[in-house]
Structure 1
Amino acid sequence: MRKEAMTVFEEGQLYSAVTTDADGQVQVHLGEDHPGFTDPVYRARRADIASASLAHRPGQPVPTIDYTDEEHGVWALVSAELAAKHARYAHPEYLEAKAALALPTDRVPQLHEVTQALMPLTGWCYTAAPGLVPLREFYADLGRRTFNSTQYLRHPSEPLYTPEPDIIHEVIGHANQLASPRFAAIAQAAGEASERLETEDALQFVADVFWFTIEFGVMNDGGVTKAYGAGILSSYGELDEFSHMDIRPLDIPTMGTLNYDITAYQPVLFEAQSLDQLEGVVGTFFESVDDDLAARMRAEAHAHA
């Protein structure tokens, strides 16, 4: 499987491209395999929500979206289905943070509500994004304890599946995770690292370590592998599959260079033995990485490949 510089934030990979026509009309370009591709109502709805995000300026209130009953229903259904799986598969640190954040499960929360709940816990806030956020901008915001989040929901015909991150992934996956001071500190350290990095290769290395930890990390809990990564914890299907994958010890050089397919369940996962180990290995890496260290680790991984 080839990664070919794909990241969580790269246009045309996980996020549908958003463009603005010469007449100011916003278009969201869904792939032909997207459940909403042939649904003009859904496409128009996506464009409206993207328009609100595009019009948002720093310092302004985050756009409020008037969600429909159908959209609230999708959120409620997915929340209930994921909650049952979280109870079985999520790491206790995530479960405690989720309980502390206490987001609504019967309706889609506004991003300003997510911020209001997060700020007293970890000092993080949410801002709106139409979809793609450039890699450096996304990480710079993480360093400022700001998470760029989409506001749209997946197509109602497949509520338990989405080919791209939607507000369910961004909030149920990431906001609950960021309600843990310890997970939040690791994410912030990744963001702060981006400000030290000058080369795109080094930034990509950090993004890939982030992928295998904050997005798709797993952790030992009393001899049982539990998930703490937002990508797993927001995926109904992946929660049933992750424990059967090739699970390896934490290995920064390998995590920063391993090829992976973002469109499929992750076949290789990296397991921390404890939260202390995650902080000591991954947190310390994010806190200390510079261009030279990233280059050395990349060379080390290639030498052992």
Structure 2
Amino acid sequence: MIKPENPLRGDYSQMRPDYTVDQQWERYTPEQHALYRRLFERQISKLPGYAVDEFIAGAQRLSSDGIPRFDDANEILARATGWQIVAVPGLVPDDVFFTHLAHRRFPVTVWLREPAEFDYIVEPDVFHDFFGHVPLLLNPVFADHLQEYGRGGLKAMGLDAVGFLARLYWYTVEFGLILTDKGLRTYGAGILSSGGEIIHCIDSPRPHRVKFDLMRVMQTEYRIDRYQDTYFVIDSYEQLFEETAPDFTPLYEKLKTLPAIDPSHVLPGDTLVSNVNPVDQRRQAA
């Protein structure tokens, strides 16, 4: 949903009206499969202690030798939650993105980054989209939340409020943290597909980790060119689903009267979350 300043990568010449294309898996080269394997092996090794358990299980369940075949993944998704992934040439317009989500379809980019972009890429590629997003579509509650987000996005477009909803997506689906009985973990695709931020978001003393508050999230600006200054922490996917279920119309009207919040700021009403394991916290308290 975040559009780069330069022209979009990807071949849009063969797309259908809904921006979907054929994956054409047979066109990927051995070198591209090898690069995807390197990316996968690098990230999967970083997940323990940083990613939520259900993401790790989902990533392993969907793993393949190289770039995955979307049709194979769709068989697994259909049985688990009724979701499907659809191949797209790259970033798509907001209305197209929301429509796909509202119908339980997640757009996944077909092109893969170049070797020189191994550690950082400006636009989401097939590795970011598939590895970062698809595993949690196997979780029923999170999958339902994402569908409702799509429906809410279509409504927000008619209320001139997509910017507020983009902040919600950024700080949850892309860069969200969750407090588990094992400690802080990440479920955000932007973090889970990153070589460095997956460690930074949990271990670094620099960022603020703030308890999730819907209005606070939708007021807060975000960074697209560096690690985040602030992460928002949910207690469960059920909390995320329930707190984002009500009609946002009155919230949008209020948000339009409020100033944006700098992501580096901590507010007096914020509840900060320690990155110490809950077991260690109990030991310290004793």
TM-score, normalization: structure 2? Answer: 0.81
> Residue 140 of structure 1: which of 91, 96, 99 is its match?
99
8 A contact 2:178–2:187 mirrored in 1: yes
5+ long unaligned stretches in structure 2: 262-266, 269-286
Question: One-letter code of the match for 2:249?
Answer: D
Show the counterpart of 1:293.
251
Show the counterpart of 1:159.
118
% identical equivalent positions? 27
Alignment of 1:124-135 (within 5 A): 124-135=83-94
Matched, 1:69 2:30: yes
> Residue 114 of structure 1: which of 48, 51, 73 is its match?
73
8 A contact 1:248–1:268 mirrored in 2: yes
CA separation in 2, counterparts of 1:198 and 1:156?
Answer: 37
- 1:41-85 CA deviation, whole Å, 9 max, x = no partner? xxxxx5xxx257x33466987331311111111110111111111
Show the counterpart of 2:7.
17
CA separation in 2, counterparts of 1:233 and 1:268?
Answer: 16
> Is the alpha carbon distance of 1:184 and 1:237 closer, same or farther for their aligned partners in structure 2, counting shifts above 3 Å?
same
TM-score, normalization: structure 1? Answer: 0.77
**Following superposition, which runs of at least 4 residues in structure 1 exceed 6 angstroms of deviation?**
none
CA separation in 1, counterparts of 2:109 and 2:254?
Answer: 35
> Is the alpha carbon distance of 1:127 and 1:102 closer, same or farther for their aligned partners in structure 2, counting shifts above 3 Å?
closer
8 A contact 1:253–1:298 mirrored in 2: no
Q: Secondary structure at the match of 1:87?
A: coil
CA separation in 1, counterparts of 2:45 and 2:133?
Answer: 18
8 A contact 2:179–2:235 mirrored in 1: yes
8 A contact 1:218–1:225 mirrored in 2: yes
Alignment of 1:227-238 (within 5 A): 227-238=186-197
Matched, 1:89 2:79: no
- 1:226-265 CA deviation, whole Å, 9 max, x = no partner? 0001111111111121122210010111211211121211
5+ long unaligned stretches in structure 1: 1-7, 19-27, 29-45
**Which deviates further from its counterpart, 75-84 or 189-198?**
189-198
CA separation in 2, counterparts of 1:63 and 1:294?
Answer: 38
CA separation in 2, counterparts of 1:59 and 1:164?
Answer: 17
Show the counterpart of 1:221.
180
Show the counterpart of 1:258.
220
- Cα RMSD after superposing both structures: 2.5
Alignment of 1:130-209 (within 5 A): 130-199=89-158, 201-209=160-168
8 A contact 1:64–1:110 mirrored in 2: no
> Residue 279 of structure 1: which of 241, 261, 277 is its match?
241
Pairs aligned (count) = 259
Question: One-letter code of the match for 2:247?
Answer: V
8 A contact 2:33–2:67 mirrored in 1: yes
